[in-house]
Amino acid sequence: MADEKYRYWCGECDYRTPWRTESAGAEEQIEHYDRRHPGTPPGGRVELRAKKTDGVGCLALLGVLFLLLLAAFTFRYWP
């Protein structure tokens, strides 16, 4: 599942493969062209899945914002 990061789009119609490994996606695209577009060489484009982030960057940003707001309210009423 971790290697399934390629999706192949048909250049002749709206078909696209599910997320697959590079070789499995290419093979499925070739089979699609053989079934739906006989005699046409496979074409289209390859989409590369974006990396999934774990959200730590957003959490850190929210933490810093919280600390800044806390400091602003604390020092506003500092004697």
Asked if residue 43 is part of any domain, the answer here is yes
Alpha carbons within 13 A on the beta-carbon side of 37: 15
The tokens describing 70, both together, are 């806390």
Q: What is the rounded CA–CA span in Å between residue 30 and residue 38?
A: 10
Residue 72 has pLDDT above 90, yes or no: no
* 3 state DSSP class of 28: helix
Asked if residue 55 is part of any domain, the answer here is yes
12 touches 43 (CB < 8 A): yes
Asked if residue 1 is part of any domain, the answer here is no
Asked if residue 44 is part of any domain, the answer here is yes
State how many domains the chain has. Answer: 1
Integer CA distances (angstroms), 63 to 36, 40, 58, 74, 76, in order: 53, 55, 9, 16, 20
pLDDT tens digit string along 12-56? 999 999 999 999 999 999 999 999 999 999 999 999 988 776 667
What domain range includes position 39? 6-76
* pLDDT for the residue 74: 85
